[in-house]
Amino acid sequence: MKPFLKWAGNKYQIIERISAALPAGKRLVEPFLGSAAVFLNTHYSAYLLADINADLIALYQYLQTEGQCFIDYCRSFFDPAYNTEATFYQQRHLFNATQDLRLKAALFIYLNKHCFNGLCRYNSSGNFNTPFGKSAKPYFPEKEMVYFQKMAAKASFSHADFITTMRAARSGDIVYCDPPYVPLSSTANFTGYSTNGFGINEQLQLVGLAEALADQGIPVIISNHETEFTRHAYRNAKIISFEVQRYISSKGDQRNKVAELLAIFS
């Protein structure tokens, strides 16, 4: 099942590769949940699912607990009257200003489907700032949300950083990490996903945690670009290399295949 959110780096298109690399276990732990493509397309008995993006986790928790009632509420923002540039910016301002967490969760889906390329981007003040996307008829993902809510019966969602989440892993767990990717060039560094940047130090910290868990018998699989840096950083892991078509660029001639890898620490 596809995720109900548009997402940069969505793993749905390579889910078969990831699934083949994931060993059997009792619980899957994901410290970088994102659109939840891996969660939605695996079959573990339990899940610990975390992300540093508080808005994202709040959305998932409302969907988990309220189900169809929350889905119906979210659908109300997909009336054609909401699909104008002026209304979009009004709703974006409301999202950034409101203290009503349920409203904010519903507006997160609205913004995701009505903004440019579904890009989740915040400025230095922590405000969502992706511009209007000018889609003729934004898709409301009801069937995908229904499926997510059913799967969520086996899941625990947490607003937490990757360090806290990985330290919560126990024997019998499998950890899958999809961190912000190492940039392919000096101009491609995307750190606006949350208000906290994820740089080289964090990449190396992630490797250290992965190696420590593997030493305890807890397998860790990490996705990333295949670069000289990642090849060296993951030198103690088994590496699976492949190419992926990327679609986040606004320029069609820049939507090329890029080299990615899975690093398996076990």
Q: For the chain, what are the domain ranges?
A: 11-52+160-265, 71-142
CA angle 104/109/110 to nearest 5° reads 90
Fold adopted by 11-52+160-265:
Rossmann fold (3.40.50)
- Percentage above 90 pLDDT, the chain: 86
Say which amino acid occupies 117: N
Say which amino acid occupies 103: L
Q: Return the pLDDT at 193.
A: 43
Q: Which two tokens stand for residue 10?
A: 């969505």
Claim: this prediction has a pTM higher than 0.95: no
217: left (phi over 0), alpha (psi -120 to 50) or beta: left
154 DSSP β-pair partners: none
Per-residue pLDDT tens digits for 247-259: 544 454 555 789 9
Fold adopted by 71-142:
Adenine-specific Methyltransferase; domain 2 (1.10.1020)
Mean pLDDT of 117-143: 95
d(C-alpha 216, C-alpha 118), whole Å: 38
d(C-alpha 246, C-alpha 12), whole Å: 12
Asked whether residue 240 carries a pLDDT value surpassing 80, the answer given is yes
Composition of the chain by helix, strand, coil, percent to 5? 45, 20, 40
**Do the Cβ atoms of 40 and 148 come closer than 8 Å?**
yes
Judged by average pLDDT, the poorest of 57-61, 75-79, 91-95, 191-195 is 191-195
